[in-house]
Amino acid sequence: MSKIDPVCGMEVDESTQHKTLYKGKVYYFCTANCKTEFDRDPEGYLKSGPRGMH
Amino acid sequence: MSEKKEKLRIVGMHCATCVNTVTKSIEKVKGINGVSVNLATGYAEVQGDFKLNEVVESVRKAGYDVETQEIKLALNANPEESSRILNSVTVEGVISSHFNPATGVLNLRINPQAVSSKDLVEKLSEYGVTLLNNDKAEVSAIKKDMNSMVYSLIVASLFTALVLFYQYTGNYIYAFVFSIPVIIYSGRRYFKGAFRALRNRTADMDTLVALSAGTAWIYSVIDLANRGEVFFDAASLLVTFVLVGKTLDSYLRYRISYVHVPHFTARLSTGEIVDADQVNVGDIVIVKSGEVIPVDGVVYDGTGEVDESILTGESVPNKKNKGDPATADSYLVNGYLEIYVTRRGGNTYIAQLVQAVNDAGTSSVGLKRTVDRVTAYFTPVIIVIAALTFFVWHMTVPVSEALLFSIAVLASACPCALGLATPLAVLVQVRRLSNKGIIVRRGDALEKARHVKTVIFDKTGTITSGQLRAIPATVVDGSAIAMAAALEGLSSHPVARAISSLSGIKMNVSDFTEFIGEGVMGSVEGHNLLVGKREFIQKNCDKIIDGDIIVCVDGRPMASFFIEDEVRDGVKELIDDLKLNHEVLIATGDSSSFADDLGRNLGVKVLKGLSAQEKAELVKSMENSMFIGDGVNDALAIKQAYVGVSLSSGSDISKQAGDIIVNSPAAIKLLIDGSYKLESRIRENLIWAFGYNAVLVPIAAGILYPAIYLPPQFAALAMSLNSVAVTLWSFFRP
């Protein structure tokens, strides 16, 4: 099943290794870069949605 | 350099973020004017006045890769031509180039989108270039060149004997006739070389030999016609003696400077004995007591003690049982092993090690570049001295005698030894360190090791053994430990293994999910369980309790652990020693209190809880830093370091990051010592090479005449033995 990367907005497969758990919910990322971005400001990304290229 | 455009294939891009990261990494490189990265095609178009290797490095540091191709070419060239050869391949598409003057092999890394091996072979055609497909081809190309030298020498020796006989019996016509094969056939490599140098508007050893032998011979031919004095003996002897020295030199360098991949035979389970190259991955090979293990693999059956000094530098045998790894070229001291083959032939660890050691000899070190510049002026200066010698002597002695002095000057000067001084010193140090289990992949990294100011160690698996222990810290509910153990049993992470070893109670585990570098989640006996680092639990659990790893059951922390590890032998002494001259730091991803304790015990500052990216940034921010870590997990930091060192795991060398690979942290001391030794050896070799010329050239010019007179042929012999002396000195000096 595919999910949306909360940082760049890409579709990501659930089997990816790049994921994290935040407030009990799993988020999936396309690369380690996007995960690092998310970890820096999770609330920001969840509030304003994917920012595409950053 | 001027503005250029180059296309590169980028490997590992998935999304728009990747495109952005790659673009940014290329834009950072000096001289870039424009970059366009296309996600769909995977290509990057780069424009500007830039160095291609810097672009590739920068992309790699950003975590992506650039498709490159490695090619090897065997050239017939003199050691002092190194810089000219490297200049001629400084063309579009060539990422890096290293020439090993000791073996005549040029290693190139190219961008296959911009240049092909065929283009480069054409570009270097004047050096009689051969494209090498594998190591066997490399050895055979070197052998072929040496055989041709031996033939030339045999021809030269036979005909020179005849020339001498007829010259001294006054039969000058015959002396002339028999000198022709010596000059034309045996001496052709020098005339060809001199012509090549002339076309490139430079001069080298070939120029000097061709000028001296050529002048003596042509002068004699003219004098023969005019019934004057002839020197067919001097001209022929000169060529023969130069060949004696050069053949000996090539032979020595071939024999001792080129490490050969050992050749093995293997006994299959059927009892059949075959060449180890013929074995297939998945075959079972039988090794009996006293035999050498011919392949890389895993012990399938049997036990034995294996001397793995080739891998570890340590000759105390290791006990091997079923499931243990076995490495080719290690030696079964006693026992019996059946080995399941995982790598064979050129893929074995030892074959990769030999390749790495041979390739390291080709890398240019800083001093060599300075020497190459000096060498460029050396030959023209000698030609000027020879001309002056002629004019000065011409005032007091007949033309023929003055000419002999000036020919002797040309024949006595040896730029080759200067060209060999640095690469031979690198080669010898790299090989000596490899015997101690330190693999230097780049000679310049070894040279740089002595300039290191900050030494940064990774913690787990580098200064500690990596055999972690979990010690319960706070226990609210004892069953949480058993549940955590059951959940962690599904992960292979070292921390997970330590926790899972705490309990063996079987439980129902489902919905297991692992968050790399953070923790695990799952359902155990109907409870929602989270086990992970403090930061991870903090984001997802109601409260937090003391400990490195916390177990959260149904949203509440129920137990926690401290994680401990063992410091490796010799680390304390090493760090105490390093602290005398360096700043020492430990950078670790671990955020446990154990890291702090460790830092206190070792007297070192610990920076903990760092991600791979943060480690890399730390390494980059330090001046002349050396980073020592795991070659796979710490690849980013290793690449960013001034000197990147990875700790060997006995796995694929090619897949490990790091300019240098060591078998234990304690080897860092040997490495830094080796770097100082390299520097002093280079200086010694250079002093020898310069000194030899400084003594020989004035004697040849007749400064001590008539007390000491050096005829051209003996000047040539002395000259050619200079390279032999530098080679022998480099290899046999204790």
Mutation for B interface: A21, A28, A34, A46, most B CBs within 10 A: A21
> Which of A2, A13, A33, A39 is most worth mutating to test chain B (most B CB atoms within 10 A of its CB)?
A33
Q: What is the pLDDT of residue B169?
A: 92
Please check whether residue B274 lies inside any domain of the structure: no
Pairing of strands B94-100, B605-607: unpaired
Q: Inform me whether the pLDDT recorded for A8 exceeds 60.
A: yes
Q: What is the pLDDT of residues B154-195, one digit of tens each?
A: 999 999 999 999 998 989 999 999 999 999 999 998 898 888
Count the Cβ atoms, other than its own, within 10 Å of residue B416: 27
pLDDT greater than 70 at residue B360: no
SS3 B682: helix
For residue A32, list chain B residues with Cβ-Cβ distance below 8 A.
63, 613
What is the per-residue pLDDT for B261? Answer: 67
- Strands B454-458 and B625-630, by their bridges, are parallel
SS3 content of chain B, % helix, strand, coil (to 5): 50, 20, 30
Residues 7-46 of A with CB under 8 A from B: 7-8, 10, 17-24, 26, 30-34, 36-37, 42
Closest approach of B95 to chain A, Cα-based (Å):
27
| Total residues found in chain B within this entry | 734
Are the C-beta atoms of residues B622 and B601 closer than 8 Å to each other?
no
Give CA torsion, residues A9, A14, A18, A20, to 10 deg.
90
More confident residue, B57 or B152: B152
- The answer to whether the CB of B287 falls within 8 A of the CB of B299 is no
With an 8 Å Cβ cutoff, are A22 and B539 in contact?
Answer: yes
* Segment among B45-54, B128-137, B482-491 with least mean pLDDT: B128-137
Task: Supply the DSSP string of B450-469, one letter for each residue.
Answer: GG--EEEEEIIIIIB-S--E
pLDDT at B69 over 70: yes
Considering the domain architecture, whether residues B486 and B535 belong to the same structural domain is answered as: yes
Instruction: Judge if B11 and B34 occupy the same domain.
Output: yes
- The answer to whether position B690 is within a domain reads no
Q: Determine whether B566 is exposed, middle or buried from the number of CB atoms within 10 Å of its CB (0-12, 13-18, 19+).
A: exposed
Give the C-alpha separation, B440 to B248, whole Å: 28
Q: Is A2 on the interface with B (CB under 8 A)?
A: no
Looking at the partner chain, which of A21, A22, A31 has a beta carbon nearest the beta carbon of B15? A31
The whole domain housing B527 covers 469-564
**To the nearest whole angstrom, how far is the Cα of B471 from the nearest Cα of chain A?**
25
Give the CATH number for residue B629.
3.40.50.1000
Question: How many independent structural domains does chain B possess?
Answer: 5
Q: Which residue, of B343, B363, B379, is where some domain finishes?
A: B343
Residue located via tokens 């030339």: B152
> CA quadruple B72, B73, B77, B83: dihedral positive or negative?
negative
Which tokens in the block code for residue B651? Answer: 């796995």
- Partners of A30 on chain B (C-beta within 8 Å) are 14-15, 17-18
Type and span of the H or E element at B596: helix B593-602
Whether B545 maps to a domain, the answer reads yes
- Pick from B5, B8, B6, B63: nearest CA to B41: B8
Mean per-residue pLDDT for B242-247?
84
> B59 at the A interface (CB within 8 A)?
no
Lowest mean pLDDT among B121-130, B251-260, B437-446, B723-732: B251-260
Using CA atoms of B643, B648, B650, B655 in order, give the dihedral in degrees to the nearest 10.
Answer: -40
Q: Which of B535, B564, B593 is the last residue of a domain?
A: B564
Cβ contact, residue pair A23, B540, below 8 Å: yes
Please report where in the chains the tokens 């240019």 appear, as a residue. B364
Split at pLDDT 50, 70, 90, the class of B362 is low
DSSP state of B181: I
Same domain, B460 and B573: yes
Please report, for the domain that includes residue B79, its CATH number.
Answer: 3.30.70
**Residue B315 contacts by C-beta under 8 Å, 6 or more apart in sequence?**
B307, B309
- Can you list the alpha helix ranges (DSSP code H) found in B328-453? 349-360, 366-394, 399-412, 415-435, 443-448
Structure tokens at B301: 């059956």
**Which of B216, B204, B212, B210 is closest to B190 using CA atoms?**
B210
Contacts of B635 (CB under 8 A, 6+ apart): B656, B657
CB within 8 Å: A31 and B17: yes
Q: Distance (Å, rounded) from C-alpha B499 to C-alpha B486?
A: 9
Instruction: Please report which confidence band the pLDDT of residue B554 belongs to, taking 50, 70 and 90 as the band edges.
Output: very high
How confident is the model at residue B559, as a pLDDT?
A: 93
- Domain of B306, CATH number, reads 2.70.150.10
Is B263 inside any structural domain?
Answer: no
**B347: Cβ contacts below 8 Å, ≥ 6 apart:** B296
Specify whether the CB–CB gap between B456 and B618 falls below 8 A: yes
Task: Quote helix, strand, coil % in chain A, to nearest 5.
Answer: 30, 25, 45
User: Looking at the predicted complex, does its ipTM rise above 0.95?
Assistant: no
Based on the domain organization, do B29 and B129 belong to the same domain? no
User: What pLDDT was estimated at residue B315?
Assistant: 61
Pair (B582, B661) in one structural domain = yes
- Note whether B477 and B513 are same-domain residues: yes
Structure token digits, residue B506? 């079987």
Q: Confirm whether B208 is domain-assigned.
A: no
Least trusted range by pLDDT, from B115-129, B494-508, B694-708: B115-129
pLDDT of residue B635: 79
Residue, of B7 and B204, whose pLDDT is higher: B7
Whether B412 is covered by a domain: the verdict is no
SS3 at position B494 = helix
**Residue B257 reports pLDDT greater than 70:** no
Task: Give residue for tokens 């590992």.
Answer: B12
Give me the residues paired with residue B643 across strands.
B626
Question: Can you give the pLDDT at residue B372?
Answer: 67
Is residue B588 domain-shared with residue B668, that is, in the same domain? yes
Residues of chain B with pLDDT > 70: what percent?
A: 92
Q: What is the pLDDT of residues B300-345, one digit of tens each?
A: 899 999 887 766 656 678 888 888 888 888 888 888 999 988 888 7
Residue B663 vs residues B422, B460, B466: alpha-carbon distances, Å: 27, 15, 15
Q: Is the pLDDT at A38 greater than 70, yes or no?
A: yes
For B636-654, b/e burial (b = at least 16 CB within 10 A) is bbbbbbbbbbbbbeeeebe
From B69's Cα to the closest Cα of chain A, the distance in A is 26
Looking at residue B464, what is its pLDDT?
Answer: 85
* Residue-averaged pLDDT of chain B: 85
Chain A: closest CA distance from residue B497 (Å):
20
Q: What number is the average pLDDT over the span B680-696?
A: 90
Task: Pick B40 or B151 by higher pLDDT.
Answer: B151
B461 and B572, same structural domain? yes
- Kindly list the distances between the CA atom of residue B75 and the CA atoms of B67, B110, B371, B392, B395, in Å, as whole numbers in the listed order: 26, 18, 21, 40, 44
User: Which one-letter DSSP state was computed for residue B476?
Assistant: S
Q: Which residues contact B244 (CB under 8 A, 6 or more apart)?
A: B153, B717, B720
- B601 & B522 share domain: no
Determine the Cα–Cα distance for residues B178 and B197; give it in Å rounded to an integer: 28
Contacts B15 to A, Cβ<8 Å: 5, 8, 10, 30-31, 34
The angle at the Cα of B460, spanning B604 to B607, to the nearest 5 degrees, equals: 40
Q: Is there a single domain that holds both residue B460 and residue B475?
A: no
Q: Is there a single domain that holds both residue B669 and residue B580?
A: yes
Domain-embedded: residue B601:
yes
Instruction: Count interface pairs A-B at CB distance under 8 A.
Output: 58
Contacts of B727 (CB under 8 A, 6+ apart): B249, B252, B253, B256, B257, B420, B424
Q: Indicate the residue among B14, B49, B67 that finishes a domain.
A: B67
A48 touching chain B per CB within 8 A = no
B19, closest residue in chain A (CA to CA): A53
What is the rounded average pLDDT of the residues B231-254? 84
Q: Is B517 exposed, middle or buried (0-12, 13-18, 19+ CB in 10 A)?
A: middle
Segment B582-627, tens digit of pLDDT: 999 999 887 777 888 889 999 999 998 887 778 888 998 998 999 9
What is the CATH number for B560? 3.40.1110.10
Q: Residue B641: name the closest of B461, B368, B434, B449 by CA.
A: B449
Indicate if the pLDDT at residue B564 is higher than 70. yes
Residue B23 maps to a domain: yes
Same-domain pairing of B571 and B668: yes
| pLDDT at A54 (0 to 100) | 43
Mean pLDDT, range B67-78, rounded to an integer:
81
Q: For residue B440, what are its two tokens?
A: 């230097």
Say what the pLDDT of residue B584 is: 95
